[in-house]
Amino acid sequence: MTWGLIPKDSLLETIYCGDSETSQTKELNFEIVGNSCKGVDNDFNYDFSVNELWLSNSNLYLAISTNISKYFGVSIAPALIYGGYSFVNDEPDEHSSSFEIIDSEAGVFINDNQKYNGKIYMRYYF
């Protein structure tokens, strides 16, 4: 999964998830395999029990949110990370309410009139 932040002052109308240099965004990528969550482009590594995936206050989401918050320079609650994960896995709940699916193709989406500036986005792929 990719977590990204579009700067508040971005002038770009096209955002390319996975290409933070072109999009001038901040991004971190993680993969969950078995009982381990690893950073793809960072040194994050966390082993967890499977039930932590479905607990909004688990240490897994605390560890991920701490890592992302430091890198993005903004505070991101563990429940937000959980909400995104549960949303894309067809198990949305009250923590998923701030997420919406936007039209994109291969991780590319349009930021018309900079309406997503200052927002965090998530891309999830198998």
Which H helix or E strand runs over 46? strand 45-47
Q: Please tell me the distance from the alpha carbon of residue 70 to that of residue 31, in angstroms, as a whole number.
A: 19
Does residue 126 surpass a pLDDT of 90? no
Residue 46 pLDDT > 80: yes
pLDDT digits (tens, 9 = 90+) for 28-37: 999 999 999 9
- The answer for residues whose C-beta is within 8 angstroms of residue 38's C-beta and 6 or more apart is 30, 31, 44, 45, 46
User: What confidence tens digit (pLDDT) does each residue in 82-112 have?
Assistant: 999 999 999 999 999 999 999 999 889 999 9
Domain extents for the chain?
2-123
